[in-house]
Amino acid sequence: MSNRFLLLFLALSAALSPATAYGHAAFVGSTPEPGVRLQVSPRVLTLNFTEPLNRRLSTVKLVAVDGGRRATAAVRAVSNRRLEVVPAGRLSRGAYRIEWHTVSTLDGHALEGSYSFGVQVAAAGGEHSVEQSPFARDGWLRVALRAALYVFALVLVAALLLPTLTRRTSWLVPHVLADALAVGPVRARELRLTGSSAWLAVLAAVGATLAEAADAAGGLAPDRIASFLLANQAGVARLLVVLLLLASALSWQRRSRASAAFAVLALGAVAASGHASSASPRLPSVLNDWLHLVSAAAWLGGIALVVAVWAPALRRAEQSARLAVAREVLPVFGKVALPAFALVAVTGLVSLLTQLGQLDALWETDYGRLLALKIMLVGLIAAFSAGHALRLRPRLLAANPHPPERLERRHWRLVRAEPLVGLGVVTVVALLVTFPLPPRQLGEADEARAAATPACDPCPLPQPAADELSVADQAGRQLVAAWIRRRPDAVTGSVRLLDYRGRPPRVPVRVLDAATTSCGTACVRFRVPEQTDVLHVIVRDAGRTYTVTLPARWQVHANARARRILARAQATMRRLRSARESERVTSGPGSFGATSYWLRAPDRMRYRTNRGVQNVIVGRRQWLKPPGATWQLGQYGAGLRFRTRTWFRWTTYARAVRLLAIRNRDGRRIAELALMDEGTPVWFRVSVDLKTHRVLTERMITKGHFMDSRYFAFDEPVRIAPPESIDG
């Protein structure tokens, strides 16, 4: 490589080597927080982000949820990571949604998200969300252009680089084949394919760059496109892709080594413009992706090149010519393809760990499932290669005098199938690159959001994020609630205490074996440096010490499944003909109540407390009997008709539902769910029999009220009648 190419290499490397790792401009937090209910209209709304913003391209909209009307508001940047939204006037009563669009000056990626808050009403789905579909905002076009760029760039690099790697200038069409068939047309096809790939790669790079710039800039205005391409390193990397491919296209006929160097450097620029540019550590991640692309070009690009050049000629050739190609071309390519495949596998594994963060994201996230599909397709190509190179070709070439036609057809069928599967690999890669945030970076953004939440006293209770668990329990008279996130190397979150009025009590609280910082009165943020299944929260109140154990493990990506289990369980309970419930309740030390309930559909219930109170309800009437008194007839619920189906109500309080675990208990599969409603506030833990879909137990935690219930005797005969008909 000459000095000029060495300088280009060093310049590209320097552009990728800042002292700190970069990430996308992801949402950190806001004032007011997502999901809160405000009593008065806010004067200013503040949004904080993880990275410096391209102020020209980053936008915020304030939208009234009812009707979708955009509220008039001014947006201003008060710092390079903070935006303020100032409503033009007082916001009327209702729910509002903040919709933000950011472009980082560091990596150039565009992100979109939204959250809701309410003014004198509950927020409408207040949980903060980030757009995670690669097809958002005409993403299909960006995917198609990226796929085209990869196809033509990989074939181009293979055509220019393999002569050097094989140490044979004419490895693809060796002179020795001239005795078996006419090689002139084949060489001409090789040259046409190389030239076409070069110019098509340039066109695809231009199209992909413009499409991604238009997505970030919100259109094709020249000044906004220039702001995207020239204001960040990833934008410059996209321009380098175009320029380097153009240099390769202009020089491939005259100086093949120079053209190969330009094409290989273009793959480095492609790596610098992808997700690796925002991974940590940045430079090793980009270099790993660069090596991954170059080795993929030598392997997959080489496969496509061999098939594209030789398939038309071999279709009409004699068997002797086909055997000559199998003997002279494929083994030479195989000596490069095998180590190239090994590099693809190793660098792909490194990239997998970098992008996913934890193994279960491979099957629990859309990004991970796409990555798993890519792995399967790569494995399929490897199996095809092993099949024809190690099993069929030795038998084909050793046959005397002629190999069976069936054996030869199987061999060439596998060879021709490889580039078709490779096209699927490239399409999946284009989808992965177009994803806004891989799982690890999405998790890091959420962790930054949790760590950067400003201290407040008292804090509004937030709705848990999609990857967050909120659970609560009792510590004496106090309610202990936690918001928990799991990371590959730690468990993080916050713990808050509430008294019977829903206010933070002035009592000490700490999390066992955790580093903690204060976030207000009776509020601590914590970080447990090791993976743990439970949190131990220590509370000192009224001279006594309480240790509360909270679950800290759940199925992070099973929220939709948890909600389905809950909805079906509630529907099942409401269809019961009869059931019994045993309830125990306390508000703290020194208080205790126990109640037994009998229910019979559609409108009958009776209960008895541990203090001797009895009650019978039939439709709109109820009979109450205090201890030592006679039965008293009255109306139930101000004349409303009692319905047993309304007794079973969980989805109303299921603003957040999480699947804690599925356990085997006495031969039954039991789903354990955690529910939370931040508005009440109330927390439930519910166990559901997955065979019958019946609720077996529930634990309810709310301010000054801690209750355990057990349900049993489902659909068993029960008699509930007015007192004069009750025996005893």
Rounded to a whole number, what is the distance in angstroms from the first to the last CA of the chain?
A: 101
Q: For residue 405, how many other CB atoms are within 10 A of its CB?
A: 9
Total number of domains in the chain: 4
Q: Are 297 and 154 in contact (CB under 8 A)?
A: yes
pLDDT higher than threshold 80 for residue 703: yes
Q: Which of 209-213, 535-539, 560-564 has the lowest mean pLDDT?
A: 209-213
One domain for residues 283 and 406: yes
pLDDT of 11? 39
Q: What predicted TM-score, i.e. pTM, was given to this entire model?
A: 0.61
One domain for residues 115 and 194: no
CATH number at residue 91: 2.60.40.1220
Q: Averaged over 706-722, what is the pLDDT?
A: 95
One domain for residues 224 and 350: yes
Contacting residues for 644 by C-beta, under 8 A, at least 6 apart: 574, 576, 599, 600, 601, 602, 603, 604, 605
Band of residue 13 on the pLDDT scale cut at 50, 70, 90 = very low
Give dist(CA 537, CA 548) in Å, integer: 5
One domain for residues 164 and 117: no
Angle subtended by helix axes 184-217 and 222-230, to nearest 10: 100
pLDDT higher than threshold 60 for residue 40: yes
Six-digit token string for 316: 């009409």
Q: Each residue of 665-695: pLDDT tens digit?
A: 888 999 999 999 887 889 999 999 999 999 9
Helix ranges restricted to H, 297-365? 302-316, 319-328, 330-356, 361-364
Dihedral angle sign, alpha carbons of residues 468, 473, 479, 480: negative
- State which residues form the domain around 519: 461-546
Q: Averaged over 653-676, what is the pLDDT?
A: 94
Band of residue 156 on the pLDDT scale cut at 50, 70, 90 = very high
Q: Which of 130, 152, 174 is the last residue of a domain?
A: 130
One domain for residues 655 and 605: yes
Classify residue 297 by its DSSP letter.
Answer: I
Q: Which of 437, 470, 485 is the last residue of a domain?
A: 437
pLDDT of 444? 55
Band of residue 441 on the pLDDT scale cut at 50, 70, 90 = low
In a domain, 16, yes or no: no
Q: Are 587 and 701 in contact (CB under 8 A)?
A: no
Helix ranges restricted to H, 167-252? 184-217, 222-230, 233-251
Q: Are 374 and 422 in contact (CB under 8 A)?
A: no
What share of the chain in percent tops pLDDT 90?
40
In a domain, 624, yes or no: no
Q: Averaged over 511-533, what is the pLDDT?
A: 89
pLDDT of 443? 56
One domain for residues 298 and 219: yes
Q: Distances from the Cα of 445 to the Cαs of 18, 204, 355, 440, in angstroms?
A: 20, 32, 13, 9
Band of residue 12 on the pLDDT scale cut at 50, 70, 90 = very low
Band of residue 203 on the pLDDT scale cut at 50, 70, 90 = very high
In a domain, 19, yes or no: no
In a domain, 659, yes or no: yes
One domain for residues 541 and 565: no
pLDDT of 6? 38
pLDDT of 518? 87
Q: Each residue of 541-557: pLDDT tens digit?
A: 888 999 999 999 999 98
Helix/strand/coil for 140? helix
Give dist(CA 545, CA 536) in Å, integer: 12
Q: Which of 269-283, 430-444, 643-657, 695-709 has the lowest mean pLDDT?
A: 430-444
In a domain, 215, yes or no: yes
Contacting residues for 121 by C-beta, under 8 A, at least 6 apart: 37, 93, 94, 95
Give dist(CA 581, CA 563) in Å, integer: 23
Six-digit token string for 226: 């220039």
Among 192, 196, 201, 193, which residue's Cα sits nearest to residue 150? 201
Contacting residues for 539 by C-beta, under 8 A, at least 6 apart: 475, 476, 478, 480, 497, 507, 508, 509, 545, 546, 547, 548
Q: Concatenate the DSSP letters of all residues of 649-682 into one string.
A: --GGG-SEEEEEEEEEETTEEEEEEEEEETTTTE
Q: Concatenate the DSSP letters of all residues of 503-533 into one string.
A: S--S--EEETT-EEEEEETTEEEEEESS--S
Q: Which of 512, 546, 580 is the last residue of a domain?
A: 546
Q: Which of 88-92, 226-230, 268-272, 376-380 has the lowest mean pLDDT?
A: 226-230
pLDDT higher than threshold 90 for residue 318: no
pLDDT of 691? 95
Classify residue 591 by its DSSP letter.
Answer: -
pLDDT of 19? 32
One domain for residues 303 and 406: yes
H/E stretch holding 24: none
pLDDT higher than threshold 70 for residue 22: no
Among 148, 152, 115, 144, which residue's Cα sits nearest to residue 36? 115
Give dist(CA 440, CA 360) in Å, integer: 11
pLDDT of 2? 42
pLDDT higher than threshold 60 for residue 327: yes
Give dist(CA 430, CA 296) in Å, integer: 14
Q: Each residue of 553-575: pLDDT tens digit?
A: 999 989 999 999 999 999 999 99
Average pLDDT of the chain is 84
Among 537, 486, 489, which residue's Cα sits nearest to residue 510? 537
pLDDT higher than threshold 90 for residue 305: yes
One domain for residues 286 and 346: yes
Q: Concatenate the DSSP letters of all residues of 474-492 into one string.
A: EETTEEEEEEEEEETTEEE
pLDDT of 197? 93
Pairing of strands 37-38, 110-119: parallel
pLDDT of 357? 64
Residue 508 backbone phi and psi in degrees, to 5: -75, 145
Q: Each residue of 373-391: pLDDT tens digit?
A: 999 999 999 999 999 888 8
Band of residue 653 on the pLDDT scale cut at 50, 70, 90 = confident
CB under 8 A, 24+ apart: contacts of 716-722:
716/578, 716/580, 717/578, 718/578, 718/580, 718/598, 718/599, 718/600, 719/600, 720/598, 720/599, 720/600, 720/604, 720/605, 720/606, 720/616, 720/618, 721/616, 721/618, 722/616, 722/618, 722/621, 722/623
CATH number at residue 648: 2.50.20.20
Give dist(CA 261, CA 238) in Å, integer: 17
One domain for residues 241 and 368: yes
Q: Averaged over 191-203, what is the pLDDT?
A: 93
pLDDT higher than threshold 80 for residue 45: yes
In a domain, 503, yes or no: yes
- Number of residues that this document lists for the chain: 728
CATH number at residue 493: 2.60.40
Q: Each residue of 48-91: pLDDT tens digit?
A: 887 778 888 888 999 888 877 888 898 888 777 888 999 988 89
One domain for residues 196 and 329: yes
One domain for residues 714 and 663: yes
CB under 8 A, 24+ apart: contacts of 74-82:
77/53, 78/46, 80/52, 80/53, 80/55, 80/105, 81/25, 81/28, 81/48, 81/49, 81/50, 81/51, 81/52, 81/53, 82/46, 82/47, 82/48, 82/49
Classify residue 80 by its DSSP letter.
Answer: T
Q: Which of 13-17, 20-24, 114-118, 244-248 has the lowest mean pLDDT?
A: 13-17
Q: Which of 177-191, 278-292, 350-364 has the lowest mean pLDDT?
A: 350-364
In a domain, 513, yes or no: yes
What share of the chain in percent tops pLDDT 70?
88
In a domain, 302, yes or no: yes
What's the alpha-carbon Rg for the chain, to the nearest Å? 33
pLDDT of 381? 92
